[in-house]
Amino acid sequence: MNLRMVGFSFRTTPIEIREKLAFGPESLRIALERANSELLCETVLLSTCNRVEFYLAGEDVPLPGPKEIAGFLGRIHSVNPVDLENHIYFYDGHAAVRHLFRVTGSLDSMVLGEGQIAAQAKQALESAREGGCVGPMLNALFQHARVVARRIRTETGIAQGHVSVSSLAVDFVREVFDHFADKTVAVIGAGKMGELTLKHLAELKPKRILVTNRSPEKARAIAAGCGGQAVPFEQLDDLLVRSDIVLSTTGANEPIVDQARWQRVRSQRRKGTMVVIDIAVPRDFEPSLHDGETMCLYNIDDLQKVREARIAERRRHIGAAESLVENEVAAFGADWSRRRNGPVIARLTRDFEAKRKVVVEQLMQKIAGRVASEDRATIEGAFRLLQNQFLHGPISALAEETSRPATGQHTLLDALRKLFRIHD
């Protein structure tokens, strides 16, 4: 398998260099254009904030090595190639296949199990296609990588659950409430940390979002940003009475909702459970208010704990995902070899078939009238048997080689082509 991966990632390359090597849409288009004329092989360029990797392939062509790729990148990004050579890594053949499958399966990601990389690999293939850089091997390889990524995500627990604090907060809300069209979300404060969580809460499409802040201007600005309604801070009790979900992110030095206030609010509430996401530090709600039924209170520590547990849980599935990758590497190798060998075997069989027919025809003309029709069939059958037995050895040897990783450039396939004068 004439395949190579050359790249830089967060594991080998500091952020200062990765920043210089990153490709935007336009620079990627230019790079692929230049790759077409300079690298002279199939090329897919996978560029994310954590990695820049070249996947290179071709039939019977020498593939660029790490130095050539460092030089190529140096020319494109105006970076000294020597500075890059210490951080570069590369894999050939099956090792390159394995690397891509691990990358798309997010086994090599900074956040284990994250889902973006599979989409980025798909996008990389699309860009390379548009640039005319993709041939049969990389096309097949990246298609297979998508399947592997999907299998890893669905068949192992590596991508289970969210790991970002804001998504986890929404996960907790979803444990309590079924539907949100009749729910009121209250936002207290205007901390930066709350913005993403509020965005996620707004995606639940609640009935209304009420925003309060000591500064009415800030409250109005946040409310305008999320399609909510500003409420004076003095009406906090009333706000709590009306709310089902509360996102609190004030900069107060002491809890703004203590037992006394909550009891007051609770006696007026006609609603069920209230979920409070308190991501303020120091905390806005007294932790003792949590009872798991009338109030479910989650603060930043709770969310961090779950995040760490989730990441640890994901790590436990690495083994299963790695074994899946190994199986898929072998499957891709076998599949690719079959695709590559198929035409040669067909050609070999066709040539022998044609030669056999010619020989049998000549023989039949020579012995015409001296043998009965049953004997003619026997003779034809014998020649066919001879052909099958003769071809059995080479075809079996080719199949056996298919199941083993390639060890060098000169393969049995090349030998067969030369021995039997098979040309494409």
Partner 1 sequence: MERISLFCFAASYAVSLGLDGLAVWRGNPVFWSWPGAVSWLRGGAWLMAMAGLVAHSLYLWTWQPPLAWQFGGLLVLAWFLAVFAVYERSHPGRISWSMFLLPLVLGLVGVATLIGPPAPSDGRIPGLFSTGSLQFWNTLHGVLLLAASVVLSLAFIASLMFLIRARQLRYKLAPGRGLSLFTLEGLETMNKRLIAVAFPLLSIGMGLGAGLLFVHASKLDGLYDPRVLAAMGLWITFLVLFGLRYGARFRGSVMAWMTICAWIILVVCLLLPHTLPTGPRDASPSAGVLAP
Nearer to partner 1, 60 or 178 (CB): 178
Among 22, 40, 110, 320, binds partner 1 (CB under 8 A): 320
CB 298 within 8 A of CB 277: yes
CB contact set of 378 (below 8 Å; sequence gap of 6+): none
270 makes contact with partner 1 (CB under 8 A):
yes
Would you count residue 264 as binding partner 1 (CB under 8 A)? Answer: no
Query: By CB under 8 A, is residue 115 in contact with partner 1?
Result: no
Q: How far is the CB of 308 from partner 1 (least distance, A)?
A: 10
- The nearer residue to partner 1, 9 or 156, going by C-beta atoms, is 156
Inter-residue contact 268 to 249 (CB < 8 Å): no
Q: Output the smallest distance, CB 169 to partner 1, in A.
A: 10
Q: Binding partner 1 by CB under 8 A: which of 11, 150, 174, 205? A: 174
Which position among 59, 234, 291, 375 is part of the footprint of partner 1 (CB under 8 A)?
291
Interface segment toward partner 1; rule CB under 8 A; list 4-12, 46-54, 104-112, 311-319: 311-319
User: To 10 degrees, what angle do helices 116-130 and 25-38 make?
Assistant: 50
Q: What number of chain residues touch partner 1 (CB under 8 A)?
A: 36
Catalytic residue of the set 41, 49, 226, 296: 49
Closest by Cα among 21, 45, 22, 18 to 33: 45
Q: Does 204 bind partner 1 (CB under 8 A)?
A: no
Pair 66, 90: CB distance under 8 Å: yes
Specify whether the backbone of 302 is left (phi greater than 0), alpha (psi in -120 to 50) or beta.
Answer: alpha
The interface mask with partner 1, positions 72-101, x = CB under 8 A, is: ------------------------------
By beta-carbon proximity to partner 1, the closer residue of 291 and 375 is 291
Return d(Cα 199, Cα 226) in angstroms, integer.
7
Question: With respect to partner 1, which residue has the nearer C-beta, 156 or 411?
Answer: 156
Of 321-340, which residues contact partner 1 (CB under 8 A)? Answer: 321, 323-324
CB 328 → partner 1: shortest distance, Å?
Answer: 11
- Output the smallest distance, CB 82 to partner 1, in A: 44
Q: What is the DSSP string of 220-246?
A: HHHHHHHT-EEEEGGGHHHHHHH-SEE
Which CB, 86 or 160, lies closer to partner 1? 160
Alpha-carbon distance 37 to 44, whole Å?
14
262 binds partner 1 (CB under 8 A): no
**49 has catalytic annotation:** yes
Interaction between residue 26 and partner 1 (CB under 8 A)? no
* Binding test (CB under 8 A) with partner 1, winner from 16, 26, 60, 175: 175
Instruction: Select the residue interacting with partner 1 from 62, 136, 282, 319 (CB under 8 A).
Output: 319
DSSP-derived secondary structure letter, 271: S
Q: How far is CA 370 from CA 360, 378, 380, in A?
A: 15, 14, 15
Helix (H, G, I), strand (E, B) or coil at 377: helix
Q: Is 150 or 410 the residue whose CB approaches partner 1 more closely?
A: 150
Residues in Cβ contact with 234 at an 8 Å cutoff, skipping those fewer than 6 apart: none
Interacting residues of 74 by C-beta distance below 8 A, sequence separation 6+: 80, 81, 84
> Shortest Cβ distance from residue 171 to partner 1 (Å)?
4
* The one among 31, 39, 137, 168 contacting partner 1 by CB under 8 A: 168
- Which residue's entry shows tokens 């398998």? 1
Neighbours of 202 (CB within 10 A): 16
Stretch that binds partner 1, among 194-202, 306-314, 355-363, 388-396 (CB under 8 A): 306-314
- Residue 360 tokens read as 């049998």
CA distance 376 to 382: 10
In contact, 59 and 336? CB cutoff 8 Å:
no
d(CA 200, CA 195): 9
Binding site for partner 1 (CB under 8 A): 151, 155-157, 160-161, 168, 171-172, 174-179, 270, 272-273, 290-294, 296, 298, 302, 306, 309-310, 316-317, 319-321, 323-324
Cite the active site residues: 49
